[in-house]
Structure 1
């Protein structure tokens, strides 16, 4: 697929279309959804007579995001340097740009001009970067068309590791070549009472659907009377009768009426719990709607009052964070000015200094 060609006019148009889809709610996470890309492609074709694919548009989106993140970090790195208003970037010498480009790849492109379409890119990506979303590419998609590409599937074998191989039972064998009992040793020696007389191991077998392990399938049967009687079985080797202890229990079946009443009781309990959950949710929603949201202006007033003067790192991170209502609400939970100031400082360190190991020069 040939690469898309982007000039200044096409870049401006696609940027406007991206912003339009973001404001329409077609950016669920870090990228547009399929509806957003389709709308951008259709409107871009109407305005330029060029039909670009989703992949070509996504590559342009990623390029915009990379430039925006680099520019935001460059503003932090270059804080304190003189500003060239004509170029819209820092007025620094060649040595500074060379050094900064090594530490922040891609910074050199802003040497002669600032970030183009910054107002539109802010709408596209500021929410993503301000809320801690990882700007790295998304994880690879799952196998296409539901095809299992695991090594087992490639050879026609089942994928689960616990499935039997080729239908073969791999239980350990006893000395006579027969499968040993579950509780017998793994070395081929059978230490069961029958084995001491030279007879093969025999397990208790179910008689007429009766459970032979001393318990029944239902807890209600534990109160019933039980009786034991010897049952004889011929072994294929010695033709001798071996006593096998069988515990026969009398089953007690529940009536249909009792079962129906029990099910009705469970359903009533489930309905009661669901109603309580709904009442709690409605109560919480009504309380949340009755409380006014803190405005950006109110929160920024508290920012200045806590000591974050304009131009400081704390004031800068506040302008990014408090676009989000959740961040404003979190800031208001702090009771003292010192606590708010330290919280802003840590936010700045976590976002810029910890991730890039870069700080103001």
Structure 2
């Protein structure tokens, strides 16, 4: 980006200047760490998607017209505070008589409650996984030994993809469902092809 753009951004976002020349650190590790995450938009709003999230009752929360039609309660009316005679009116007078809806606050409160609930369940799930011992024969060490037995020795693309995939338990379990060494070797070859293309 241009120097003028960076000057503007430094004013708007203090501390962002460190990214001008440096860029993102540990990019390769972050790719591995977050490679399986997908933004489906089902449980959150991504501003860059341009899609306004739906409220629990099916309506959009982006426009006043739709929000007003969802709520039968009477909106609050804003009245200006008392002004003395001879004083110049402030910009607040232009809002005189406008009606403001407060129902959006309830939707936000509901969404925050859902997020808190999901967070609590995720935390409990992660803690239980951390406590659980891996006695199923699917430890990384055991599976990598089977990888070598099927012909994927260190230095091959099959061994490399196995070392990337098998940090995740689900991938190890899938690999272990295959019956023969040939099937396992072919599966690793296909996984490498899907991720990196023909080499």
Fold conserved between structures, TM > 0.5: no
More strand by share: 1
Bin the TM-score by the shorter chain.
0.3 to 0.5
- Could you say which structure has the higher helix fraction? 2
TM-score of the pair, normalised by structure 2: 0.43
